[in-house]
Amino acid sequence: MSAVADHLWQSTWFAVAAWLLALLVRQDFARVRYWIWLAASLKFLVPFALLGWIGHHFILQLDDKPALLPIVQQAAAPISSATLFSDDFGYARYVLVAAWILGSALVAQRWVRAWLHSRMLVKTSSPCDIIAPVPVRCSDRLAEPAVVGILNPVVLLPRRALKRLRPAQIDAVIAHEACHVRRHDNLAAALQMLVQTLFWFHPLVWWIGNRLIIEREHACDEGAVQDGRDPAMYAHTLLHVCKQSIASRHLCAASAVGGDLSARVRAIVSGRAKPSTWRRAVAAATLLTCTAMPVALGMKIVATSELKVSAGARSIQRSDADEPGFVVVQKDYVYASNVSMRELISQVFSVENRQVRGYGRELDYPRYDIELRATQGDLSDARRLVADALKQQFNLELIVR
């Protein structure tokens, strides 16, 4: 329970950061704001603990003591590793889990019904005699244009609306829906549905979903205009279609009449300023940093300048460490942590693991912590140190071909 609570807190913090970024780029293309809100939504599916676990499998070797990465790790620790809640919920945890499952089941049922309704619309529709980059079908049961499907998307048009639209207006509607298809908006909407199903109790999840719909429609409007449609004619078409339609109820379809209609028309007619490159760069860098910080937190830093291997060391001990192994090879010493014989030989002799051959499983198990260093005046290099140590302790003779 504490892990779930911490994940929700971390995702909330990420959503607040996304909101600040969206304010920073409010004058830029809607697609930039859309990707910011989509990242905030997907964060609910990716806990920082998972990113830290990924970082745990990476080891960074540096000659000198690093300066930047420890600062990043210290900055990320309060966000990624803080435990704000205890697990002492008693019997209340079972009530909370039951309520969570029940709520998720109800929300999932809503999405399933919407998906089945969308599939029914496709099955009862008929092909339209319209040349378009995507399949277009007409339906008598549809109130507004929409895109249905993820793998094989289809544009559905209301038959009665087609009779009242001029060819140029139909082309504008198709252009808008084709943008939904190119952007894979239905796939993103499905991921957002998953987030809302799992975290139905979090108000930010639903607010982010609303922002995604708004920015998605703005982005498709921008795309249609950039493809060559006249802004005034396009805005007039949007209003005309909306007069024939009701608010979109097809939750599993990207609709042309979604979002804030008045704001969309103002944006289309007035036009948008040229997007700021530096603002988009700041937004991308910030999102990347928020993702990289937990990964950096889990990384292990090995500074060779801080390794203390005494002269004449010949230590080979079994390792019980639960962390990735690494080997440091210098001119006169070898330092290894939690490595197998095969990995040690591979690193020291600069060959692939599969090129190290032997009998039995001794090359891969157990794993060892190793410290080898030549004595003063001894000119042995790393390869000779390893070969002599393996010969002495394991009676293992290396043959280099």
Q: 152-162, pLDDT tens digit by residue?
A: 899 998 888 78
**Least confident piece of the model among 108-117, 252-261, 342-351, 370-379:** 252-261
| Together in a domain, 183 and 285 | yes
Q: Is residue 157 part of a domain?
A: yes
Lowest-pLDDT range, 72-81, 97-106, 364-373?
72-81
Please report the pLDDT score of residue 256 as a whole number: 58
The pLDDT of residue 189 is 93
Other CB atoms closer than 10 Å to residue 211's CB: what's the count? 22
CA nearest neighbour of 158 among 68, 257, 280: 257
In a domain, residue 298? The reply is no
Phi first, then psi, for residue 372 (nearest 5°) are -130, 135
Please indicate whether residue 397 or residue 377 has the higher confidence score (pLDDT). Answer: 397
**What is the per-residue pLDDT for 248?**
47
Is the domain of 158 the same as that of 288? yes
What average pLDDT does range 246-272 have in this prediction? Answer: 65
For residues 146 and 262, membership in a common domain is answered with yes
Looking at residues 60-69, what average pLDDT do you find? Answer: 61
Which of the listed residues 293, 325, 341 is the one where a domain comes to its end? 293
> SS3 letters for 222-281?
HHHHHCCCCHHHHHHHHHHHHHCCCCCCCCCEEECCCCCHHHHHHHHHHCCCCCCHHHHH
Same structural domain for residues 338 and 197?
no
| DSSP H or E stretch at residue 36 | helix 30-42
Residue 400 lies in a domain: no
Residue 301 lies in a domain: no
Q: pLDDT tier at 247 (50, 70, 90 boundaries)?
A: very low
Q: Would you say residue 399 lies in a domain? A: no
Q: With beta carbons less than 8 A apart as the criterion, state whether 385 and 392 touch.
A: no
User: Angle 88-92-94 (CA atoms, 0-180°, nearest 5)?
Assistant: 105
Task: Say if residue 104 is in the same domain as residue 48.
Answer: yes
In 145-192, at which residue ranges do the beta strands (DSSP E only) sit?
Answer: 146-148, 154-158
Residues 224, 266, single domain; the answer is yes
Which of 293, 324, 341 is the endpoint of a domain? 293
Residue 106: pLDDT band with limits 50, 70, 90: very high
Rounded Cα distance between 380 and 374, Å, is: 6
Looking at the structure, tell me whether residues 21 and 66 fall in a common domain: yes
Residue 91 shares a structural domain with residue 164:
yes
Q: Which domain holds residue 181?
A: 2-293
Does 66 share its domain with 122?
yes
243 within domain boundaries? yes
Given a cut of 80, is residue 99 above it in pLDDT?
Answer: yes
Q: Are 372 and 386 in contact (CB under 8 A)?
A: yes
pLDDT score recorded for residue 109:
94
Task: Name the percent of the chain lying above pLDDT 70.
Answer: 82
Report yes or no: 29 and 222 within 8 Å, Cβ to Cβ: yes
Final residue of a structural domain among 293, 321, 351 = 293
Look at the chain and report how many structural domains it folds into: 2
Give residue-wise pLDDT tens across range 169-201. 889 889 999 999 999 999 999 999 999 999 999
Could you tell me the pLDDT band of residue 27, with boundaries at 50, 70 and 90? low
Which residues share a beta bridge with 333?
373
**Across 143-155, average pLDDT:** 89
- Cα–Cα distance, 52 to 79 (Å, whole number): 11
- Within-domain flag for 199: yes
Q: What angle do CA 375, 376, 382 make, to 5 degrees?
A: 50
pLDDT at 113: 92
* Residue among 37, 43, 40, 11 nearest 216 (CA): 37
Same domain, 196 and 342: no
Retrieve residue 233's tokens: 């004619």
Q: How far apart are CA 16 and CA 43, in angstroms?
A: 12
Q: In DSSP terms, which residues pair with 301 in a beta bridge?
A: 60
| Mean local confidence (pLDDT), 322-334 | 85
CA distance 378 to 383: 13
pLDDT, the chain, mean: 81
Higher pLDDT, 269 or 216: 216
Question: Smallest Cα–Cα separation from 375: which of 384, 364, 366?
Answer: 384
321 and 183 in a single domain? The answer is no
Q: Quick one: 228 and 368 in the same domain?
A: no
pLDDT bin (cut points 50, 70, 90) of residue 239 is confident
Q: What pairing do the DSSP bridges indicate for beta strands 253-255 and 146-148?
A: antiparallel
Binned at pLDDT 50, 70 and 90, residue 78 comes out as low
pLDDT > 80? residue 69: no
